[in-house]
Amino acid sequence: MGNVVTMTDIGTDLPADKPLKGAKAVAGEPLQEVRSRRNAGDERRRDRKPPSRGARLRTVLFIGFTLIAVIPVGLLAAWQQHSAFQKELAEVSERHLLIARNLSQALDRYSHDAQAAFELAVMEMQSPRPASEGIGRLLGAMGFRHACIVNTDGRVETGIDGNQPGAPVGTVIHDFTSLQAMAPAVEAGTRFTGVLGDNAGMPALYLVRRLPDGRLALGTLGTEYIADVQKAIAFGERGHSAIVDQHGRVLAHPNADWQRDMKDISAISAVSLMIQGKTGVDTFYSPAMDAEMIAGYTSMPHTGWGVMVPQPLSELSAHARNVQTASLLIGGLGLLVAIILSWIIARHLARPIEQVAGVARSVSAGEFSARVRGLPSGTPMEIRAMAGSVNQMLSDLSRAGKRLQVAAARAEAANLAKGRFLANMSHEFRTPLNAILGFSEVMRDSDPRPEAVAQYQSYSDDIHQAGRHMLSMVENILEVTRAGTGRLELRLTDLNLQDAAGLALSLVRQDAVSKRITLSMTAEEGMANIHTDAGKVQQIIVNLLSNAVKFTDSGGAVAVALSAEDGWPTVISVTDNGIGIAPEDMTMVMAPFGQVAEALTRNHGGTGLGLTLTQELVDLLKGEMDLQSTPGKGTTVTVRLPNLTAQGVPEEPDQAGSDEDDDEIRTAV
C-alpha cells in the first residue's frame, strides 16, 4: 500500500484539496520552497496600504442598488404605459369569448330541452286519446305558444295551446308553404327554422317535423326566454350580448326595434363568422352603437344560432389610459423610494460586509482560528448567511485533516482485510498442494510393483480430491469477481431439481463421511422441472451444503428439503445443527473478506466466499435467499427460485393452485 498523506504532512496552513496561491509550482520544486515563496508574497501584500473604508463601499453599493431599482422600475413603467391597451384588449377578448361560450351552452341546453318537449307533444297529439293538460303546461313553461299537426292542405288537425292548456288550437300557421319547404325528411327528425313572424307578426322560432304519412308537426317557440338571457349579460357602459339565428337575423338584442323587426345583421363580420360555425374574437363597426366594437363570438351546432358579446373599444381605451396614468405615478414614486432605500441599505450593509472582509483577510494571512462574530443588530439575513457560510467553510477546513485520517484508517483496514484473506488463501492452497506434491513424490520414488497398484490408486484419488478442492476455491474467487463486474451470464435449460440436489450431495459426501455427518434429502412428490440456469442452481446447492458441512461438528446432521410454495415453484432449504451465527454477525458473514467470515474460515477452512457467491447467484436468477441461525444450535438457509422465461425474467405465478396435499418422499443419502 502507498503512503497516506494527511494534513499534518503538509502543514495546517495549506488545505489538502486547495491549489497553492501566490506562487507558481514548478515540476520537481520542493513543496517547502513553494510555500515559502507564497508566504513571502502574502507578507508583501499585508505591507501594502489597505484600501479606503466606508465611503467607497457605500458609494458603490448606493450606485448599484439605485441602478438595480431605477432601471427595472423605469422600464416597467414605460412598458406598462405602452402595453396597457394591448393588455386590456387581450384580457377583454378572453373574458368576452368565455361569456359567449357559457351563454351558448345555456342556450344549447334550452334548445335540446325545447326539442324534447316538442317531440313529446307530437307523440301525445298522434295518440288516439286527447292530449293531457300537463303537456300544455310543459310547452308553456318552455316558451311554446302552441304545437299542432297540420295536414298536407295546411289545415290544423290537432294541436296544444301552450298559453291555455286544454284550449282548442285554431289556425296558427302564418306561412304554411314556407314551413313545408323547410321541413326535413322523415328520418332527419326535428329541425329549428330561423326566426319568423307568427300569425300575429311576433318573432318566433318554428320546430318542424315531417311525419311518415306526409303531415307536418309544427311548434311555435317564442323568443322571450332568449331575450331574457340576452338581457342578463350587461357590463361597462355599453357592453352587452346579442343572439342571432342561423341566417344572421336578430333573436335578442339591446336594440328593441332590431329585435322586433328580426333585423338581418349578417353583413357584420362577427355575425358572418358565426353563421359559418366559427368561434373567436373580432372587431367591427356596430351601426346600433355607432362605435367600433370588440366581440367574442361562438355558434351552436345544434340550432346554428350565434352568440356574441361585444363592447365598445372606446371603453377599453379609457380604462387603458387610467392604467397608464396610474403606472406613471407609481413608477415615479417607486423611483424616489428606490433612491432613498438604496442610500439607507448601502450604509446599513457596509459595516457587516467590511467585517466579513476583515475575517477573510485574516484567514488569507494564515489565521485559521478567525471567525465572523458580533454582527451589528439588524444585519440582513443574507449577510448573516454569508458570515455563517464563511464560518462553516473554516470549520470544514479544520475538519478536513480528521476526515483524511479516518479515510486513511479505513483504507488501511481494507488493506489488512485483503492481506488476511490472501494469507488465509495461501494456507488453504498450501494444504492441497502439499498433499499433491507428497503423494506424487511417493508414487515417483516407489518401486512400481503390481501389489502396490491399489495403494497408487488411493494416492491418485487423494491427488484428484486435492486438485478438485483447489479448483473449487479458484472457481469461487473467479465467480465472485465476475459477479462484482457484472459478467455472470444465464444459460437457461430445464432442470430436475432432485437430480441436481442428489449430485450436490454426492460431491460433499466424502467431507461429510470424514466428519461422521449424516446427510439427508426430502422432496415434495410430483415436483416439476424448473426452467433456469442448471449450472448456477447446482452451484448454489453445492455452496450451501459445503458451508453446512464445514461449520457442523463431527456427528452432526445436514438436511436438504425441496418444495414449492405460493409464487415460488422451487424452494431449497439446507439445515444443519452446526455452530450457528450470532445475529450481529449476519451482515459480516455475507460480505467477502469480512472480519467475522475471516475468523470462521481460519477455524474451519475454506475461502469464506460461499454465502457471498450464493447471494450473487440467487440475485442473478431473480430469486431470494433467507438466512436463519441460532448460535450453538444451527443454521437454515432457504433459497426461493422462479421459473425464468427466455428473456431471463420470472414467469407469472400460477394462481390456480392444487387442493391435494403433496406427500413427501424421504430419501436417505
- Residue 595 in this model has a pLDDT that exceeds 60: no
Name the pLDDT band for 2 (thresholds 50, 70, 90): very low
Among 644, 666, 662, smallest CA distance to 653 is for 644
Are 128 and 208 part of one and the same domain?
yes
Task: Tell me the three state secondary structure of residue 313.
Answer: helix
Residue that wins the pLDDT comparison between 584 and 221: 221
Of 466, 487, 508, the position where a domain reaches its end is 487
Domain membership flag for residue 181: yes
Q: What tens digit of pLDDT does each residue of 478-493 get?
A: 665 665 555 567 888 8
Are 503 and 449 part of one and the same domain?
no
Residue that wins the pLDDT comparison between 96 and 20: 96
Domain membership flag for residue 63: no
Residue that wins the pLDDT comparison between 596 and 282: 282
Are 527 and 590 part of one and the same domain?
yes
Q: How far apart are CA 613 and CA 618, in angstroms?
A: 9
How many other C-beta atoms lie within 10 A of the C-beta of residue 335? Answer: 17
Domain membership flag for residue 80: no
Are 623 and 525 part of one and the same domain?
yes
Predicted local distance difference test score (pLDDT) of residue 27: 41
Residue 190: partners with Cβ closer than 8 Å, 6 or more residues away: 115, 118, 119, 207, 208, 209
Q: How far apart are CA 198 and CA 169, in angstroms?
A: 14
* Inter-CA distances, 369 with 158, 364, 373, Å: 108, 11, 12
Domain membership flag for residue 361: no
To 5 degrees, how large is the angle CA 469–CA 473–CA 476?
135
Report long-range pairs for 592-601 (Cβ below 8 Å, ≥24 apart): 592/480, 593/417, 593/418, 593/420, 593/421, 594/417, 595/417, 598/417, 598/420, 598/421, 598/424, 600/551, 601/424, 601/428
Total number of domains in the chain: 4
Q: Tell me the pLDDT of the chain averaged across its residues.
A: 77
Burial of 48 from C-beta contacts in 10 A (0-12 / 13-18 / 19+): exposed
Are 477 and 494 part of one and the same domain?
no
Measured in whole angstroms, the distance separating CA 628 from the mean position of its chain's CA atoms is: 38
Q: How far apart are CA 158 and CA 131, in angstroms?
A: 9
- pLDDT (mean) for 165-194: 74
* Inter-CA distances, 176 with 179, 186, 196, 493, Å: 5, 18, 12, 87
User: Among positive and negative, which fits the CA dihedral 86, 91, 92, 97?
Assistant: positive
- Residue 162 in this model has a pLDDT that exceeds 70: yes
- Residue 427 in this model has a pLDDT that exceeds 60: no
Are 555 and 482 part of one and the same domain?
no
- Residue 591 in this model has a pLDDT that exceeds 90: no
- pLDDT (mean) for 507-522: 88
Domain membership flag for residue 69: no
Q: How far apart are CA 239 and CA 49, in angstroms?
A: 74
Of 487, 518, 552, the position where a domain reaches its end is 487
Predicted local distance difference test score (pLDDT) of residue 163: 75
Q: How far apart are CA 559 and CA 433, in angstroms?
A: 31
Q: Are strands 634-641 and 624-630 parallel, antiparallel or unpaired?
A: antiparallel
Residue that wins the pLDDT comparison between 82 and 296: 296
Are 480 and 441 part of one and the same domain?
yes
- Residue 271 belongs to domain with CATH number: 3.30.450.20
- Residue 296 in this model has a pLDDT that exceeds 50: yes
Are 437 and 555 part of one and the same domain?
no
Predicted local distance difference test score (pLDDT) of residue 9: 38
* Inter-CA distances, 2 with 30, 368, 408, 411, 560, Å: 20, 30, 11, 10, 48
Predicted local distance difference test score (pLDDT) of residue 237: 81
Residue that wins the pLDDT comparison between 564 and 351: 564
Q: C-alpha dihedral over 105, 111, 117, 123, to 10 degrees? A: -130
- Residue 456 belongs to domain with CATH number: 1.10.287.130
Q: What tens digit of pLDDT does each residue of 110-131 get?
A: 999 999 999 999 998 888 887 7
Predicted local distance difference test score (pLDDT) of residue 107: 93
Are 557 and 464 part of one and the same domain?
no
Domain membership flag for residue 642: yes
Q: C-alpha dihedral over 465, 471, 476, 480, to 10 degrees? A: 180
- pLDDT (mean) for 283-296: 85
Of 317, 335, 362, the position where a domain reaches its end is 317
- Domain of residue 413: give its range: 380-487
pTM of the model: 0.41
Read off the amino acid at residue 521.
M
- pLDDT (mean) for 177-197: 85
Predicted local distance difference test score (pLDDT) of residue 563: 92
- Which of 49-53, 238-242, 501-505, 615-619 has the least mean pLDDT? 49-53
Are 274 and 164 part of one and the same domain?
yes
- Residue 245 in this model has a pLDDT that exceeds 80: yes
Read off the amino acid at residue 75.
L
Domain membership flag for residue 518: yes
Q: What tens digit of pLDDT does each residue of 534-556 get?
A: 888 888 898 899 889 988 988 99
**Which of 186-190, 338-342, 377-381 is most confident?**
186-190
Residue 20 C-alpha cell reads as 497553492
Predicted local distance difference test score (pLDDT) of residue 404: 84
With beta carbons less than 8 A apart as the criterion, state whether 597 and 588 touch: yes
Q: How far apart are CA 423 and CA 415, in angstroms?
A: 12
Burial of 506 from C-beta contacts in 10 A (0-12 / 13-18 / 19+): exposed
Predicted local distance difference test score (pLDDT) of residue 8: 35
Predicted local distance difference test score (pLDDT) of residue 660: 40
- Which of 16-20, 169-173, 497-501 has the least mean pLDDT? 16-20
Domain membership flag for residue 338: no
Among 572, 597, 488, smallest CA distance to 535 is for 488
Are 471 and 547 part of one and the same domain?
no
Q: What tens digit of pLDDT does each residue of 644-669 get?
A: 888 778 887 654 444 443 433 333 33
Are 156 and 271 part of one and the same domain?
yes
